[in-house]
């Protein structure tokens, strides 16, 4: 149904949202990072309807974020694994989680679920330029217009 994933828009964020733009897609990807890989487990953990879960998984597979892999043959059973493309989505989810922990939780409540193993601290992140390692803030960014 959802029409061939239009490579139409030239805006990167629009194009991303064509793939993961539905709320559930983010949560499915998050669960996969947490290690939840099976249909049944995802459905129970997320509280999503089977229909929508099925649709989202299929579209994520179509988008090559996930692959459907058999984990046993008799009876045939499958799990969903992240592809390289899917794994590289991790920073987006982490950036979301960092922002959320900073702004949406009161002290004493912190929903910090992740620990950075290198330093043992609850995960809080910042973004740096992969070319110069400098910090990336709105003020240090300018549009790189095409022609219009």
Partner DNA sequence: AAAGTAGGTTTCTTTTTGCAACCTGCTATA
Partner DNA sequence: TATAGCAGGTTGCAAAAAGAAACCTACTTT
Contact residues for a second copy (CB under 8 A)? Answer: 7, 10-17, 19, 21-23, 26-27, 30, 33-34, 85, 87-105, 111-119, 121-132, 134, 136-138, 140-146
User: Token pair 């679920």 is at which residue?
Assistant: 113
Select 42 or 94, whichever has its Cβ closest to DNA: 42
Rounded to the nearest 10 degrees, what angle do helices 12-20 and 23-33 cross at?
Answer: 80
Would you count residue 18 as binding DNA (CB under 7 A)? Answer: no
Q: What binding mask, one character per residue, do residues 52-81 give for DNA by CB under 7 A, x or -?
A: x-xx-x----------x--x--xxxxxx--
User: Token pair 């994520």 is at which residue?
Assistant: 60
Distance CA 109, CA 107 (A): 5
Contact in structure between 48 and 24 (CB atoms under 8 Å):
yes
Residue of 1, 7, 132, 139 that binds DNA (CB under 7 A): 1
């Amino acid at each position: 149904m959802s029409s061939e994933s239009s490579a139409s828009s030239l805006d990167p964020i629009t194009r991303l949202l064509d793939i993961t733009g539905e709320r559930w897609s983010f949560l499915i990807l998050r669960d996969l990072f947490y290690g939840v890989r099976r249909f049944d487990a995802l459905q129970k953990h997320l509280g999503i309807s089977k229909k929508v879960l099925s649709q989202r998984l299929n579209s994520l597979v179509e988008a090559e974020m996930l692959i459907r892999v058999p984990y046993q043959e008799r009876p045939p059973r499958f799990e969903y694994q992240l592809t390289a493309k899917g794994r590289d989505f991790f920073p987006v989810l982490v950036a979301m989680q960092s922002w959320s922990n900073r702004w949406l939780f009161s002290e004493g409540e912190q929903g910090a679920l992740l620990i950075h193993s290198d330093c043992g601290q609850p995960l809080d992140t910042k973004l740096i330029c992969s070319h110069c390692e400098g910090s990336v803030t709105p003020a240090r960014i300018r549009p790189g217009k095409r022609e219009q």
